[in-house]
Amino acid sequence: MTKSSCSDSQMGPRTPRHLFLAFSLLSLQGFGGLIAIVQRELVEKRKWLTPDEFLSDWAVAQTLPGPNVINLAIIFGERRFGFRGACAAVAGLLTAPLVILLTVVRLTQGAVESQALEGALRGMGVIAGALVAGSGLRMLPGLRKNLLSRSACAVLAVTTFLAVGVFQIPVPITMLILGGLGSLWALTRPEMPKRS
Partner 1 sequence: MEQWLELSAHMLSLSLFTVGGVLVAAPEMHQFLVDDMHWLTDLQFTSSIALAQAAPGPNVLFVALLGWNIGVNASTEMGSSASLSGFVPIVGALVALFSIIAPSASFAYFAGRWLNHNRNCRAVQAFRSGVAPIVIGLLVASGWRLASIPNSLVADHVVYLVAAISTLVVWRSRVHVLWLIAAGAVLGFAGVV
For residue 100, count other CB atoms closer than 10 A to its CB.
11
Q: Are the CB atoms for 69 and 35 separated by under 8 Å?
A: yes
Q: What are phi and psi of 185, to 5 degrees?
A: -60, -45
Q: How far is the CB of 15 from partner 1 (least distance, A)?
A: 19
* Residue 13 vs 142, nearer CB to partner 1: 142
Residues 6+ apart with CB under 8 A from 51: 43, 139, 141, 142, 144
* Residue 21 vs 28, nearer CB to partner 1: 28
Buried b (16+ CB within 10 A) or exposed e, 59-69: eebeeeeeebb
Q: Cα–Cα distance between 55 and 37 in angstroms, integer?
A: 14
Q: How far is the CB of 142 from partner 1 (least distance, A)?
A: 6
* Residue 21 vs 64, nearer CB to partner 1: 64
Q: Cα–Cα distance between 69 and 72 in angstroms, integer?
A: 5
Q: How far is the CB of 179 from partner 1 (least distance, A)?
A: 5
Q: Cα–Cα distance between 141 and 157 in angstroms, integer?
A: 14
Q: How far is the CB of 42 from partner 1 (least distance, A)?
A: 14
* Residue 12 vs 134, nearer CB to partner 1: 134
* Residue 11 vs 101, nearer CB to partner 1: 101
Q: How far is the CB of 47 from partner 1 (least distance, A)?
A: 15
